[in-house]
Amino acid sequence: MGDWQKVKKLDKYYPMSMGWKLEKLNWVDEATSMGAAVAAGVGVGEFRDFNEISKFIEVEDVIYPDKERYEKYKKIKGNF
């Protein structure tokens, strides 16, 4: 999600429109280089698989959808 994840106002809209929880992670600024490092580690056999990235990231915050708003949005999202 990169820079999008930094925009506080959008935190509530994503979970509302998709009905999913949003997990905000640490290392947002370094996401691309972190992914490249893990891919290289998998490629040379240092890491077993891509799930190894979980050793380096942590969930800093979880935002849950507002179920009432999600149900309202679900009814009208076909209009868009």
**Which two tokens mark 38?**
């893990």
Cβ count near 15 (within 10 Å) = 19
Task: Tell me the three state secondary structure of residue 12.
Answer: coil
Global pTM reads 0.54
10 residue type, one letter: L
Q: What is the pLDDT of residue 75?
A: 84
Spatial CB neighbours of 18, under 8 Å, sequence gap ≥ 6 = 65
Is 63:19 a contact under the CB 8 Å cutoff? no
Over residues 18-57, the pLDDT tens digits come to 778 888 888 778 888 989 999 999 999 999 999 999 888 8
